[in-house]
Structure 1
Amino acid sequence: MKLQDALFNWLQIRLVADVRPDDRAAGETESFFAEILRDDHKLDNVRIALTDDTMVHIQYEQDGKTQTQLFDKEHAEQLLQDILANPKYNE
């Protein structure tokens, strides 16, 4: 999996897990993508550094250097919005 894809997948499920802390599946999926980032891409300290009106800033360390990746906020929050809008997942 490409780094950009792994970061985006991690971000989407991290946003879900943050809003739904009792959602075990979201937590497990977030851990899965965190493992890919750590093991396959050698990233450390992956975190959401900042969210502004239009972008989500992901910060991480790779090869001893701090890097930042930006993602469109609306796109990043789409999975969360889809889950929240579906009554099947909110019982």
Structure 2
Amino acid sequence: MRLDDALFNWLQIQIVADARPDDQAAIDTRDFFLQILTEDHGLTSISVDRVDDTMIHIRYEREGRSKVQMIPREAGEQLLSDIDANPKYN
């Protein structure tokens, strides 16, 4: 899995896990993507650094260097919106 895809997937499920702290499936899935990011891509200290009106900024370290990946906010929050809109998940 490409780094950009893994970061995007991690972000989406991180947002879901934050919004639904009792959702064990979301937590397990978040941990799965975190494992991919750390083991396959060598990332450390992965976190949502900032959220503004249009972008979500993910900060991480790789090979001792701090980097930021920006993802459109609407795309990052889409999975949670889809889950909230589906009554069988609420």
Does the TM-score normalized on the shorter chain lie above 0.5? yes
Counterparts of 2:37 and 2:75 in 1: how far apart (Å)?
A: 20
Superposition deviation, residue 26 in structure 1? 0.1
Number of positions where the alignment pairs a residue of Structure 1 with one of Structure 2: 90
Superposition map of 1:59-70 within 5 A: 59-70=59-70
Q: Which residue of 1 aligns with 2:18?
A: 18
Counterparts of 1:12 and 1:89 in 2: how far apart (Å)?
A: 16
Counterparts of 1:84 and 1:23 in 2: how far apart (Å)?
A: 13
Q: Which amino acid aligns with 2:69?
A: Q
Per-residue CA deviation, residues 43-72 of structure 1 (Å, 9 max, x unaligned), is: 000000000000000000000000000000
* TM-score of the pair, normalised by structure 2: 0.99
Q: Please, which runs of 5 or more residues in structure 2 have no aligned partner?
A: none
Q: Which amino acid aligns with 1:49?
A: D
Root mean square deviation, CA, Å: 0.3
Identity %: 57
Q: Which residue of 1 aligns with 2:29?
A: 29
* TM-score of the pair, normalised by structure 1: 0.98
Consecutive aligned runs of 4 or more in structure 1 exceeding 4 Å deviation: none
